Structure 1
């Protein structure tokens, strides 16, 4: 009985330490994200399958404003533009001359752009968060608490307090690596950057 009691006490103590560590990591991530009320950067994105074979490589420009506003523009030849006004997301494909408009729902808030620009206070409600620090780099690993998600794990990496890169891994092992360059924080961004005007003659799909 004494041994069982000791094991129980030890387990409860470890659980308490784990919760404390999680809260500390959440607080640190929240602090780093909230530092940047606006963010602009150049990005490069590489997608690999589960065996490491390259599937796609793209680059582009992004602009974010907290909470929930973003403009994510992928360069030609695979050009696409994704714009959020905080309520709806418009995805424009110029090759197809087609725009898809979606209401901003829970699944969309798990996209890279909205994870960086969304409501920081809600992150810990959706993810288990852990951190690892080495020198001037700190990595946060986010694991969704529900199964209905776009990825199985996400790593956010900050260098000297500035977002540097992120990696998403899905249920079949596909990895998407996004590297951010020329990052600028808290500079004014024109309001029309987060508005999308449907081009004349475009096909419109409402979802």
Structure 2
């Protein structure tokens, strides 16, 4: 176990001199589980004569590669997105409604595939055109353009934090920026990101709350 940990730390430290695409490759190869807090800001397209509108939400994020992850939104409304490896579950607490979709037909070219679902870079390149993007805000960025023209995504950018020698802050996932086909922009920033934490075996099991309406698609 010590040898594995040393190899993993050395690889992540090497991200300090890498570009965004290299950082993504190292991340996918070495980070098999992760846990973080997140803040999401969704900005709608600006209409003439109107000020920009932004909505902020926050919660927690966990994943176990491949194909298992969950976003738990705590504020301002309770919502859950859970992928258990077979089914993608979406739960809206206010409506007490669950939507269930088959993962195999849902995740391929989604932002979740970039950071949590894909087992390796080759799997990502089957669904995305990947390229280095300019460094910004102290992060290394990779741009991902879906190859399928049928989806609702225009582009996705993933930002990686490099190791800071002054603070010894570890390299890792820092941001996910999504631009959809309607011009809506979503920026997720990740804080207190934990690399390869030991997650309980039932972390990604979803059980519908009593009385919830379940819609299967």
TM norm structure 2? 0.77
- Please state how far the C-alpha of 1:111 moved relative to its aligned partner: 3.5
- Please state how far the C-alpha of 1:171 moved relative to its aligned partner: 1.7
Q: Is the 8 A contact 1:70 1:114 kept in 2?
A: no
**One of 21, 28, 46 as aligned partner of 2:41:** 46
1:30 aligned to 2:25?
yes
C-alpha spacing 1:34/1:107, structure 2 compared with 1 (3 Å): same
- Please state how far the C-alpha of 1:206 moved relative to its aligned partner: 0.8
Separation in structure 2 between the aligned mates of residue 77 and residue 125 of structure 1, nearest angstrom: 36
C-alpha spacing 1:72/1:25, structure 2 compared with 1 (3 Å): closer
- Please state how far the C-alpha of 1:57 moved relative to its aligned partner: 1.1
Alignment of 1:57-206 (within 5 A): 57-119=56-118, 120=120, 121-132=122-133, 134=135, 137-160=139-162, 161-206=171-216
> Unpaired segments of 5 or more residues in structure 2?
1-18, 163-170
Q: CA RMSD in A?
A: 2.1
- Please state how far the C-alpha of 1:199 moved relative to its aligned partner: 1.7
- Please state how far the C-alpha of 1:100 moved relative to its aligned partner: 0.9
TM norm structure 1? 0.81
- For residue 29 of structure 1, give the secondary structure of its aligned residue in structure 2: helix
| Bigger shift: residues 157-166 or 178-187 | 157-166
Per-residue CA shift, 1:63-89, capped at 9, x if unaligned?
Answer: 111001011100143210111111101
Separation in structure 2 between the aligned mates of residue 25 and residue 164 of structure 1, nearest angstrom: 12
Separation in structure 2 between the aligned mates of residue 28 and residue 71 of structure 1, nearest angstrom: 23
Q: Is the 8 A contact 2:20 2:140 kept in 1?
A: no
Separation in structure 1 between the aligned mates of residue 177 and residue 65 of structure 2, nearest angstrom: 21
- Please state how far the C-alpha of 1:172 moved relative to its aligned partner: 2.5
- For residue 202 of structure 2, give the secondary structure of its aligned residue in structure 1: helix
